[in-house]
Amino acid sequence: MDDYFKSAHGRALGTGGPTCVTCHGSHAVATATLDIINKENCGKCHPYGQASAIKEAMRNTERLIVEIDGKINKFKGEGVDTGSWEKSLFSVRNRYHRLFHEVDTGKVIKLSGEFREELDGISKTLAKIDERGQRRKIIGAIVICGLLAAALITYLLKRTFDDISEP
């Protein structure tokens, strides 16, 4: 709400500016995503150009957030403790998602770089975990191969021994 009141939209409240409900709905409140920014919604009161520019500026960082979220969920499914990354991502995500209401394309572009740096940091730790998991899988495969070889040798030895000891 603070961001909204500071924005061109908030300043035009009562004189043609959109309210929360104009964009988010009232009874059928939809999940807030960048999809709200479309020609039909944003072209009603002014040309769509600026709206399109702000959407474009936000899209890449949004994509990174979704990508990292997917990775975290994958690790979670594999039983990795993802609590701290979830918290970091949640914090970045929430700060990022309130950026829209100022409807300030320049600011979004300027801050997107900083957000991306933070996200890259999370991405890098996740990549390290991925590497470690990969290494663990290879070691696991080697151990299993070793055990199988040992079982085979034991079996062959036993057969040879049984053959020899037969009267």
Which residues contact ligand HEC (rule: CB under 6 A)?
A: 1, 4, 8-9, 12, 16-18, 20, 22-24, 32-34, 36-37, 41-42, 44-46, 50-51, 54, 58, 94, 97, 100-101, 103-105
| Least distance (Å) between residue 43 CB and ligand HEC | 8
**DSSP E strands, 14-85:** none
Pick 55 or 71: Cβ nearer ligand HEC = 55
Q: Which of 130, 133, 14 is nearest to 67 (CA)?
A: 130
| Least distance (Å) between residue 47 CB and ligand HEC | 9
Query: Distance between CA 1 and CA 7 in Å, rounded?
Result: 10
| Least distance (Å) between residue 24 CB and ligand HEC | 6
Pick 44 or 158: Cβ nearer ligand HEC = 44
Query: Distance between CA 136 and CA 128 in Å, rounded?
Result: 12
* Matching residue, tokens 């979670």: 76
| Least distance (Å) between residue 14 CB and ligand HEC | 10
Pick 39 or 158: Cβ nearer ligand HEC = 39
Alpha carbon distances (Å) from 134 to 96, 121, 140, 141, 148: 32, 20, 10, 11, 21
| Least distance (Å) between residue 52 CB and ligand HEC | 8
Query: Distance between CA 67 and CA 73 in Å, rounded?
Result: 10
Pick 51 or 126: Cβ nearer ligand HEC = 51
Residues 6+ away with beta carbon under 8 Å from 19? 13
Pick 8 or 144: Cβ nearer ligand HEC = 8
